[in-house]
Structure 1
Amino acid sequence: MTNRLLLAAILCFAPLTVSWAQDSSELTENETYSVNTFYALLVAEMAGQRQLYDLALGNYLLESHRTQDPGVTARATQIAQFIGADQAALDAATLWVKLDEKNPLAQVALSSELVKAARFSESVLHLQQALYLDPLLNVNFISTQGNDLTEGARELWLETLTPLASQFSENQALLFNIASLHQQQGNNDQAIKICERLMEYHPSFYPAWSLNARILANDDQHKEALNIVNKALEQFQSDKSFTLLKARLLIKLKNILQAEAVFNQLSVLDPNDPHILLPLALTQLDLEKYQEAKLTFQKLLNLQQFQNEAHFYLGRIEEHLSNSNAALEHYLAMTSGREYLSAQGAIVNIYLKNEQIDTAINHIQQQRNIDHENESTYFLMEIDVLNRTNQPLAAMEVSNKGISLYPNNKKMRYARAMVAEKLGQLSVLEADLQHIIEIDPNNSIALNALGYTLADRNIRLQEALSFIQQAQAINPKDPAIMDSLGWVYFRLGQFDQSITLLVQAFEIFPDAEVAAHLGEVLWSTGKHQQAKDIWKKALEKEPQSSILLQTLQRLDIDL
């Protein structure tokens, strides 16, 4: 076997393959030199098969310079690019172009590496040369490299590329990649303009239709996106991706029945595609077609696809159908997923509904030991259960343990503050809320809670007013803050301001606590019938409201 054939054999059976479009040059006729080269390249390829890429690259780079062979140099460039050795790739690509400047792939390889080095002007010169050699060359590296650039660098890259768009206007890949760069840069209007040009002059160029539709959909221009998708489906009939996007856009536009019809159409064509079955099931669920949704989710379970999602929504369906035991089985079958924490909350609620308080708490504690990533959430969950089951001392104990592990967790601090309020531990409440405010000065919830607590106890009223006014400045439309401000004005004897704010709060959020406050202010100002009307209305909605009943008892009022 000749030296040339030996080298060709190595390159043909190499695990990292690439099309160079050029034959390797003849090696030197010196026999010893040829054998050394053959041996070095054979070692390199065996190293590559064993994923010893540094060794493979080192040998190829050495032989590239020793042999000055473009095929070997192309292979060195490929390996360097594959393992992300940017400087080695740049050096190898530079040599490749020197040895084989008429090869468009060599020019593209060097152009790509120069982009990584932010040498955009040089990069465009080599890209231009590649396009002269092959005007329809695929240049997808343009947008791929753009993903890794900073916004400023990407803008410079775009500026240097722009002249090529008119120079090589027939190169669809070039125009599309420039459009993709604009989309990465947030220049969506410019990206769409290029896509529209491609769609007009090259109507069969699929990527332009797809990018145009995706940009519009991501910009919440759902009607416009749907229009593009419908036109695309005329061009690419029954295309699965566009049909799926159509269904999702119909959901965004609240055309749920039409969306379901499209998903059903897709499921007939591809009955076992989980990416069709899941949105179909969710659409059926949204339409309250519970039995149909159950069958579709069950099919996903049978296919062993999206099992966590299927179990979660089957649990929701069973809960809706009052089958709490069946729901529990599905929730407990989940192992992970976006809905996993929601499922744990649902499990706890089912246990509480069945008056299995200890079981609920044990489940939370077990989860805390298993799911370490969400440990703080399980502390909050346990505190909530203890509060709901009237165990404030136990809730305080759990709160203390949670805060010892997560001292700056704002939710944990707030939870303990609310437990402290129930236990009359004002100093603990104030310390926790002040801690939240120190690390988050714009936390309107903590500011409002601290101000309201002082106002409700009728102490340090000016300080209470200051806290609540700070909260209102941050979140002026929050009815809870309006309620607190109205309540502190009542404590300060500013009844007109109090009534105005409480009326506004009650109109936005007519809950029992606001009703109790508004009714008491009205009663105190002699507007007894108005007060009774407010209280009656609130009691109809919440007949067991403790704050309403306590207010009526304290004022000795019989409705």
Structure 2
Amino acid sequence: MRIFSPHHAPARTRLIALPAATLLLVACAATPPVPAPAAAPESVATAPYEAAVLADLLVAEVAAQRDALDISLAYYVETARTHNSPAVTGQAARLAAYLQQGPLALEMAERWLTQEPGNLTAREIAALSHIVAGNPEAAAYHIDQLLADNPQAGLIRLVAQAEGLDQAGNTQLLAALAQLTDRYPDQAPLWYARALHLHLQGELDAATDANERALKLNRRHEEAQLLRVRLLYEGEQHDAALRQAQRLVQQHPDARRPRILYVRLLLESGRQEEAVAQLRELAQRFPDDQDLRFSLALHGLQQGAYTSARETLEALLAEGYRPDQMHLYLAQLHEMRGDGAAALTHYLAVQEGDAALAAQLQAAQLYVQQGDTAAMRTLLARLREHHPAQLPALYAAEAQLLGHRDPDSALSLLDQALSELPDDTELLYARALVAERLGRIGQTEADLRRILELEPKDTDALNALGYTLTDRTDRHQEAFELIQQALHQQPDNPAIIDSMGWVLFKLGQYQEALTHLQRAYNMFPDAEVAAHLGEVLWALGRYDEARAIWDEAAADQPDSRHLREVRERLDPVSP
């Protein structure tokens, strides 16, 4: 991945950790779990079979005992297809389900049901196989048959068997269960499943109605109680949701999930002090559950509750819990709060794991921000020693950090790196950009063309070369052809769209240029794009609109040299 871009950094995205909707349909019922299918099926070779069949079954069982389950499954399936034996078919169905061989599991389960129509395990496997295949309507038929004699017991068995489903499978199971409320209107778990399904579809009012039906049938249904709180909050009834969550906490002081939900809602409502108090209560009641505290600290970070998040992360660090991760999050927290010195200390403390190198690179950047270029260079030299596989990226990172303050040193560093790795496109690209900054356009062009010799479809190089020829030479038609190739490969890249708008402007096609630049600015309101867009508007005589665009961009990026240069050139009397 390239560290550099000719212009425009990618927009940053915010990741929100949402609580997953769990499929605990039968709440407050003390029932033993149904065991998962055995990896090695029980023997079926004791029944009387002809010699060839018996040999196949023995091979299947020996393979299962040696954990060669795919081989075992193949023998069981072949025998099941040629012999009307419920025992063999059942083993094939169970083993196929265990190995997550959906089509085979469904085939064997349906064959088993023709042999033993009342077999509940066959019905469960058929239902879940349809779920995995994305056929909730077909699954609903089998679930209906499961529930016919004893709905409560059937649901308990089904949910226990469904524990291995992924999120998509859970969604399909909910859809299947939601279809059965009319047939079993007195089953709270089915109304809860319907409420969850409607909630996932964004139908809050209908979800609320279904959830209230579940609670009317079973006031102690914990999952439905929690869903009621979430539905109230998402329906903008924040105070009511918080009151309901607080009531659940008071009623169940030793239960984790009501208090966790309460903390989340307090954080999202900006009631930080109350959230901190509840977090401390959680830590006291569940002192050994560090994962829980960590999860809530991260949620606090996402909601801007920096004080409570910092306290929790520091406490976990003191307890020796995932020290590298704690240092990393504390570093990011301090950096967001503007405390560069504290952030630097924590970044440097991240020594192992996938994030260690990234943390050290961020520390190098903080050194530069603090004016300590020597410390940055020492750190990156050490990183190159310890991470030889990352040499190109580390050289490029150092050149980028040097580039704005000392581009001559950056260029010398990249010359040294390319003497070791002469055809590394990452380094060639980095040197091209530093050379452009120093006005050495010949070097820039040579390096970008070398990249295109090595990788003719390199989009970054096509765009960078086209943009350089547009901005720094009069070879605009040549630039247009390069940018056109890049845009064909990435038609929604705002940097390339900006380049196309800029070269069209240089070619005198002002209206077409305006269309591209307005689109680029809408996608990514960067100061450089604003400078280009304003200049086109100015050329069209739309001076007030140009000034408005420049003012808007300057409010976010007041130090932009692109805005300063264009205003000094076109509108020197403007304040």
Q: What TM-score do the two structures reach when normalised by structure 2?
A: 0.65
Tell me: CA distance 1:145–1:317, structure 2 relative to 1, closer, same or farther (3 Å): closer
Residues 184-218 of structure 1: CA distance to partner in whole angstroms, max 9, x if unpaired?
Answer: 55656544543332133222223334456567878
Distance across 1 between alignment mates of 2:431 and 2:168: 43
Q: Percent identity?
A: 18
Deviation at 1:267, TM superposition (A): 0.5
Q: Which residue of 1 aligns with 2:283?
A: 267
User: For structure 1, which runs of at least 5 residues remain unmatched after alignment?
Assistant: 1-11, 525-530, 535-559
Q: Which residue of 1 aligns with 2:328?
A: 312
Query: In the alignment, is the contact (CA less than 8 A) between 1:73 and 1:95 conserved in 2?
Result: yes
Deviation at 1:262, TM superposition (A): 1.2
Which one of the candidate residues 384, 387, 404 is aligned to 1:388?
A: 404
Q: Which residue of 2 aligns with 1:354?
A: 372
Please say if 1:440 is aligned against 2:490.
Answer: yes
Distance across 2 between alignment mates of 1:80 and 1:265: 46
Instruction: Give, as a single letter, the amino acid of the residue that structure 2 aligns with 1:345.
Output: Q
Q: Which residue of 2 aligns with 1:335?
A: 353
Q: Which residue of 1 aligns with 2:466?
A: 431
Tell me: CA distance 1:177–1:80, structure 2 relative to 1, closer, same or farther (3 Å): farther
Residues 37-70 of structure 1: CA distance to partner in whole angstroms, max 9, x if unpaired?
Answer: 9997676555334311134335555776899665
Please say if 1:200 is aligned against 2:216.
Answer: yes
Deviation at 1:82, TM superposition (A): 0.4
Distance across 2 between alignment mates of 1:262 and 1:439: 52
Residues 422-464 of structure 1: CA distance to partner in whole angstroms, max 9, x if unpaired?
Answer: 3252884652565454543454445557877999xxxx48468
Q: Which residue of 2 aligns with 1:475?
A: 521
Residues 277-304 of structure 1: CA distance to partner in whole angstroms, max 9, x if unpaired?
Answer: 32565659966659x947x545434655
Q: How does 1:4-43 map to 2 (within 5 A)?
A: 15-16=38-39
Tell me: CA distance 1:472–1:26, structure 2 relative to 1, closer, same or farther (3 Å): closer
Residues 464-496 of structure 1: CA distance to partner in whole angstroms, max 9, x if unpaired?
Answer: 886466212442593724444445666899866
Equivalent pairs counted in the alignment come to 489
Q: Which residue of 2 aligns with 1:345?
A: 362
Query: In the alignment, is the contact (CA less than 8 A) between 2:537 and 2:546 conserved in 1?
Result: yes
More displaced, 179-188 or 265-274? 179-188
Tell me: CA distance 1:284–1:501, structure 2 relative to 1, closer, same or farther (3 Å): closer
Residues 482-536 of structure 1: CA distance to partner in whole angstroms, max 9, x if unpaired?
Answer: 4444456668998666555545554565446446654665655xxxxxx6xx5xx
Distance across 2 between alignment mates of 1:396 and 1:217: 58
Tell me: CA distance 1:221–1:50, structure 2 relative to 1, closer, same or farther (3 Å): farther
Deviation at 1:265, TM superposition (A): 0.7
Q: How does 1:118-517 map to 2 (within 5 A)?
A: 123-136=139-152, 137-138=154-155, 139-140=158-159, 158=175, 164-182=180-198, 190-210=206-226, 226=242, 229-230=245-246, 232-233=248-249, 236-278=252-294, 283=300, 293=310, 296-297=312-313, 299-301=315-317, 303-315=319-331, 320=339, 322=341, 326-327=345-346, 329-331=348-350, 333-337=351-355, 341=358, 343-350=360-367, 353-356=371-374, 357-363=376-382, 365=384, 369-370=388-389, 378=394, 381-392=397-408, 394-395=410-411, 398=414, 416-417=432-433, 419-425=435-441, 428=445, 430-432=465-467, 435=483, 436-437=486-487, 439-446=489-496, 448=498, 460=506, 462=508, 467=513, 470-476=516-522, 478=525, 480=527, 481-487=529-535, 499=547, 501-503=549-551, 505-506=553-554, 509-511=557-559, 513=561, 514=563
Q: How does 1:509-548 map to 2 (within 5 A)?
A: 509-511=557-559, 513=561, 514=563, 518=567, 523=572, 534=575
Deviation at 1:118, TM superposition (A): 6.7
Q: What TM-score do the two structures reach when normalised by structure 1?
A: 0.66
Structure number with bigger Rg: 1
Residues 389-415 of structure 1: CA distance to partner in whole angstroms, max 9, x if unpaired?
Answer: 3225744984996996568x9xx9699
Q: Which residue of 2 aligns with 1:548?
A: none
For the aligned residue pairs, the C-alpha RMSD in angstroms reads 5.3
Tell me: CA distance 1:382–1:471, structure 2 relative to 1, closer, same or farther (3 Å): farther
Distance across 1 between alignment mates of 2:73 and 2:206: 41
Q: How does 1:41-120 map to 2 (within 5 A)?
A: 44-45=60-61, 47-58=63-74, 60-61=76-77, 70=86, 73-114=89-130
Tell me: CA distance 1:200–1:466, structure 2 relative to 1, closer, same or farther (3 Å): same
Tell me: CA distance 1:200–1:336, structure 2 relative to 1, closer, same or farther (3 Å): farther
Distance across 1 between alignment mates of 2:281 and 2:326: 21
Distance across 2 between alignment mates of 1:143 and 1:284: 31
Distance across 1 between alignment mates of 2:543 and 2:45: 100
Higher relative contact order, structure no. (Cα contacts within 8 Å, ≥ 6 residues apart): 2
Tell me: CA distance 1:522–1:452, structure 2 relative to 1, closer, same or farther (3 Å): same
Distance across 2 between alignment mates of 1:147 and 1:394: 48
Instruction: Give, as a single letter, the amino acid of the residue that structure 2 aligns with 1:308.
Output: D
Distance across 2 between alignment mates of 1:235 and 1:442: 53
Deviation at 1:27, TM superposition (A): 7.7
Q: Which residue of 2 aligns with 1:541?
A: none
Deviation at 1:387, TM superposition (A): 0.6
Distance across 2 between alignment mates of 1:91 and 1:187: 36
Deviation at 1:275, TM superposition (A): 2.3
Deviation at 1:315, TM superposition (A): 4.1
Distance across 2 between alignment mates of 1:193 and 1:450: 53
